[in-house]
Structure 1
Amino acid sequence: MRDNNDQRWRRQAELFDQLAELSPGERNERLAAIVREDAELAAELERMFTADAASGVLDRSMEVIAPELTGKLDQDRTGTVVGRYRLLELFGRGGMGEVWLARREDADGSSQQVALKILRRGMNSEDIVERFIQERRILASLEHPGIARFIDGGMTDDGLPYFVMERVHGLPITEHACRQALSVRQRVRLLLAVCDAVAYAQQRLVVHRDLKPGNVLVDETGRVRLLDFGIAKLLEEEPDSRVTATGLRAMSPAYAAPEQILGQTISTATDVYALGLLGYELLTDSLPHRRGTVSLIELASELDRDHIERPSQVLRRASGTQPDLSGARYRRELTRDLELVLLKALRPEPERRYPSAGALAADLRRWLDNEPVLAAGDSTRYRLKKFLSRYRGAVAATALVMLALAGGLAAALNQAEQARAQATIAEHQAELARQQSARSLSMRDFLITIFRQENPFRRDFADELTLAEAFDYAVAQVPEHFAEDPRIQAELLREFSTVLHGKGRADEAMALLEQAAGLLNQKDEQDPVLMARILIDQAAIEFGRGRQPAGRPYIERALALMDERGTDEPRLLAHILQARGGLASFLGEHEEA
């Protein structure tokens, strides 16, 4: 027995020496693997590193420990002046520093209350100060109603960096939702507002990296306000560095993405994961896995498993913390599509999540508008059903075909008869009616062709098609079935391109968009709004490939189309301008941004 213990201790000591040579991120990743093999051994190793980090003053020189010792003193700064700001009241202390209520005192006697954050000692390295100066202008340019403004920054008299932000009165987003007993849709709209604010910053190449309820407030008017935007990014040593100068990653462990916990590369998908966690907690009053109750090493081992309990399952056992969440009506509102959106945002691999907060916001909007969500995959039946629901007026008969083929055929014929009857009213109305009838019948025939593949006696293939094969078959049938209607053909090709792009088939998605653009370039098929949407989709694909400059011609052409048309499509115009601003920031063209 003693031999076994000695053997175990020798292995433990050897592993400790090996792990001590690794960076913190690589060490955590290795420990996560050890947990799966021997959880008790991993726990012992973690305790050894904790003890090693807490070594006494005799182990270090006075030059090393002096700043730490002075930083631990509870220095009462009340009443002191930092820059142009007088500190009034300490809001709180944390691992990153102190947050104060302060008042700006101007020479003319005017004043403004702000939130002033003083970073703790150890965050004042030359690298951090240099990066702070470089990125201060970018942060100050974040003018968005959902982001608390970055007002000022500098160094205190004792050499500590500080940030000055707009003061926001409000409650954490989860507490606000609880107090107001919000419905699922109301909570999703709040989450969407957060996504829009994060997407705005990401287009300017700023990543938050510390999204959590305490940094997302809802003010008295019900407006979402994000705090500490970009500060976590400033605390990185270098763009490719894994830890801060103190050896600690700037994050809140309970809301950190797997790549943050494991010390891997941070990207816009990191914020997407945090938004997924925020949405999960907002809808269920709980977090997935065992966040907040286990160590980082144990949590890292759990995150390797691609399984998160569905929100609807959590609600089935909802406790009395939020009684409104356990009601039948609330549970009905939380549909399968919404769950799929959240679970896609929470995938452990960054490349399998939404690529940006804007992409997540787009899928949330689709859910709110009862449109197909990308997270639901490429089911042909699902996509067509959702597509037809968006065009009830023009293709009402087709929508009925989705419900019952016989009823759909009858409705289509009835609609055609109604269209012919309208011909007696006016020549122009008759032409519109004939076009509408033709589109309905064409869409009906298209659906019959797709659904016929389920009939073993009439299908065009020897074997039954998979969902992916059925989707590819549907794409291939579009040009033939809608040869007489290039515009609806272009709309369908654009819709199908979003599926291909979501599946990572960027080249095929771009080919469909080019085909759609070619259809609209025909003499009689001009549609500036649809063409602008196609161009922006093409720019997005180039961005996703990492070829941002190649996206510029698409953005500029889309903007030219909107200038010719005027500003009667404000949301589309804003989307185009945001894309151009994000590209300019990426290329360092700050004046244009």
Structure 2
Amino acid sequence: MNPDQWHRVQSLFKELVDLDQDTRIERLESVKTEDPLLFEELMSLLAADSDDTSLIDGFAIDQLDISQLIDHEGEQIGPFLIAKTIGSGGMGSVYLAHRVEGGFDQTVALKLIKIGMGSEQAIRRFESERKILARLQHPHIARLVDGGMTGKDHPWFAMEYVEGENLLTYCDRLNLSIEKRLELFLDVTEAVQYAHKNLVVHRDLKPGNIMVTGDDSKPLVKLLDFGISQIMDESEADQAGIKAMTRAYASPEQLNGESTSTATDIYSLGVILHQLISGSHPKEEFRSRNSHPKPFDKELAAICEKAMQNDSSGRFQNASDFGEEIDAWLKNRPVSSYSVKPMYRFNKWMKRNRAASLIGIFAFIALAAVVLLYTNELQKETERAQQEAETSEQIAGFLQGLFELTDPALSRGDTLTAFTMLDRGAEQIEEDLQNDPEILARMYDVLAEAYLNLWNTEKAEEIYKKSLAIKQDIYENDHNEIANSFHNIGHIYVQDGHFEQGDSLLTAALQIRRSTLDPNDPAIGLTLQRLGFLKLRTGQIDQAEELYTEALRIFETGTDNQSVMEAASLVNSLGMIHENRGEYEKAVSNYREAVETLRAIEGDDHPRVINYLSNLGYSLNLLGKSEEAEPYIAEAIEVAKQVRGERHPHTALAMNEYANFYFSQGEYENAEIMFREILDIYIETFGEEHPAIPVIYNNLGNTRNNLGDFEAALEYHQYALDRRIELYGDIHSETAQSFANLATTFSDMERYEEALEYYNKALDIEVQVYGELHPETAYSYEAIGNVYKYMGQMNEAEQNYLKGYEILLEVLGEEHIETENARERLVELYEETGQDEKRDAFLGN
């Protein structure tokens, strides 16, 4: 369509729109006969004119953008030369343009009013946008550069050209953490607050109007498009006829055609925030197919909910208040949109001031008194059945927060006092909640977890089982609370080496959780993680990897800190898989990622950092990079001392890794010194009867053995064996380890018959615990082969070497270092015995 044809259409349209229905039909018939194409164009325009969603009341002809019919490329507007079209909005088309006058280079986004929108009202709105931009000078708002009238008296203005991505696309591309997303969103609230202070309401806030530009390391938010903004000191009459909006982000008052205000922008910001955090629009009608919001933090959900209140008076008073709530969440301060209850604010304070809140035992006792007082209050409140569930949930959360303080990381290692306070709390709860079994069971769970924080698995197991007994009386067998108990007790069984019992309970917990919860529920992920650890401990490497990978997928769907932390834990666990397969480079990569992720969201002093650093150092040492490994192992101890205290068992665990490092480097004296210090910490913390004690005696036995003090080594190993039999019985992996270590010392003493006896005892147990196809079983065959070789019984040595090699080949693969070692033993045996044909056949020559 050329300009003459367009003027013809325009003239006929304005003629037809004023005619009555009958006369209009008659006139259209004549046009149809004269020019069928012209008739079709007119019918389209008349249909558009009757559409309620037109931008400005008046002629539809004024809203048709025929700018696309006219090529402006190469045309100069003011001091700018148009390069190309980059967008088309409600009233104007936007072009990329370059300054050609003024003596300096400048690229702008130049906006021209659409051809055809020549009504006074349209021009007035276009000029209003220019006036609005002129009064807004803010680093997060695209600024006005220039403006004027074309030679044809069409208004234009040039804005700062913002090259980048919209907020959602940018955050998703970089997979930004929830904290980084919120920091960018705070820049948006700051820009909106500035506009509101300058009496401007945007009225079309949406992701497409919020751009992120600049380098990814220093992103800059820019707010665009004030085309339908309202200046608050204008009368409603000045705003009449404006119906433009983006429905997905429009407030209820906009959709209803009512007056707008700053609260309109607050609503739109709430929708954007929800989408930014959850990955999906809060309203199903505006979501893409198969898109569902990811679960996110309850406090952030409350902020979104307040911003999106249907009643504008229920929203935040201004954008600044909105931003302050987000800032409060980022700084772990109370979020008033979520709760104003004293206990909630108290818990927030506790999390921010852990060290200050636990200066002495008197503070702890005072807190315990609050717990008991609040428990009594709970008993009274449970009489009101309607509020029972909510109240018990609140009290459980409050007690969880308090009993976390029994962790010596927070109570300066005062474990005796912590145990005493927990015991007293358990007695009081049992006394006060006998008539409320549901809540009593929940309190037992809280207490048991507190004992776990103190590494007392025996007491934790006892209390978890009390909780389970109550739940089995009041719930059906497939209730999720039953699954919770199965998960908790199964976890303890795995920690204590009772793998068969642990497997049974964790599998049952997983079945219930899968049948009652959403497939991406974190609870399912946690049980998968525990089962993965069990499979790893029992040598079922492939199954462990499958379970860890599925759990990781679940936690990667979450955006809250806890999900990110659990994902980091699973990356660390997958590092253990690689380590077990001898893929040390991959293991190191996983451990590094786990450390960096956890530190990014929790800082350098989170307890899990201790384990991840130790693992990283250990794998580097396995790679032969001992100089690079040692600083990480040493750093793990320093973090442990800072977070847990000098005499905490977690610190001792990190020290154990350092002692093992010394051992691997042949520095047996240094290893022994550290093992003895670890033993002192464990005995001081747990007493002589704890399962950790024989582990250290075992390590001391290995150290003495390598120093040539065989008699002392036998004493240490025999003590460890006796304690393990008392703890676990005759058939247990720990018991097998002690038998094997005693056998090693006997072998080094050349007491070969005794060595064979003890190695075979270890082998029998391992076959029962792990099965024939397991690396530990293979290692015993290899060790037995060594003893027969020392005794000169080469046939028996060969048979055992072959059994061990075949198992390792099947379980670990041909390229694993342990498989290669087993292959070399056989080759050496064949060479020493002159069996060249067997050697060649074995090597495939």
Task: Tell me the TM-score normalized by structure 1.
Answer: 0.48
- Whose helix fraction is larger, Structure 1's or Structure 2's? 2
Q: Which is bigger in relative contact order (C-alpha 8 A, separation at least 6)?
A: 1
Higher alpha-carbon Rg? 2
